[in-house]
Amino acid sequence: MADPSEKRKEVKKKIRKLEGLPALPPIIQKLNALIEDERSSLTQIADLIEKDQVITTKVLRLANSAFYGFPRKVSTVQQAMMLLGINVLKILIMTSSIFEIISKEDVGLWEHSVGVAACAKILAEMKEVSDPQEIATAGLLHDLGKVVQMIAFKEDYEEVKRKVEDGLSPLQAELEVFGIDHAEMGAFLMMQWNLPERLIEMVNSHHDLSRSKKYRKESALLHLADLLVHARGYGETTYVGLPPFDPKALTILKVDPSEIKEIYLKLEPRLYELKFFTEELKREMT
């Protein structure tokens, strides 16, 4: 068996070079320049994005996916920008290739991710954590490390699955194979992409709250959202069972167990819509 600490170095090196991973779309640089320039208008930004048909389609699809729960369909980039805010839109553009991979490679993981995004947004609204739309993107990205394993480390990923079948816990199996778990892997990739620090910390600590230092409330929120969506049966295909839960999350967030029912009541219609969305995706793929 490979030495996990050596493997850990190799994994980080590969992620740093983005080997085997989708590159950031070239539009990002121009977009950054426009966003930073105070004189640029929303129309200018929307025009730039709309020039790229592929990105536009991806972004509109994400904006329309169940986790944002807009009553009307979002049909233009400008509309998406007004509803989501420019920062969220930027994150969606940057990560749209990854979302495409998740939805194609593993619909179960995609469903799980969108479910956690929806739940994270609901929790952020209930607990008045700032910018629920941005918190939702952390939900969407939280298992990004698994996508990295799936696409850049295919054989090792199979090895992880075998170990899980043999009875090891998924996190333990990842540590044995990679010397690093998917939470840290995903956070590391997000760092390379310069995503907001708050989102990176949330993703890094979503299975281990002790990794959270600065954004304890947000991290607890993601930890709880992940559990609630798993418990509702929207888990990933390869990882069965519930992930370990740290009850401190409830204290940090001041969530009373009786509130869980309220959360589910709000989440249920979103999950219902989500089923339609993924069914549609599956049809498109076949």
Which positions lie near Fe ion, rule CB under 5 A?
143, 226
Closest separation in Å from C-beta 181 to Fe ion: 8
Report the C-alpha gap between 24 and 237 in whole angstroms: 27
> Which residues neighbour 252 within 8 Å (Cβ) at sequence distance 6 or greater?
209, 216, 217, 220
Minimum CB–partner distance for residue 225 and Fe ion (Å):
9
> Residue 108 or residue 196: which is nearer to Fe ion going by CB?
108
Smallest gap from residue 141 Cβ to Fe ion (A): 10
Q: With contact defined as beta carbons under 8 Å apart, do 132 and 154 qualify?
A: no
Q: How far is the CB of 98 from Fe ion (least distance, A)?
A: 15
Return the number of the residue (89 or 113) whose C-beta is nearest Fe ion.
113
Cβ proximity to Fe ion, 31 vs 220, nearer residue: 220
Which C-beta is closer to Fe ion: that of 59 or that of 140?
140
User: CB–CB of 138/202 below 8 Å?
Assistant: yes
Q: How many helices (H) and strands (E) does the chain have?
A: 16, 0
| Angle at alpha carbon of residue 143, lines to 194 and 275, rounded to 5° | 120
Return the structure tokens found at 84.
């989501």
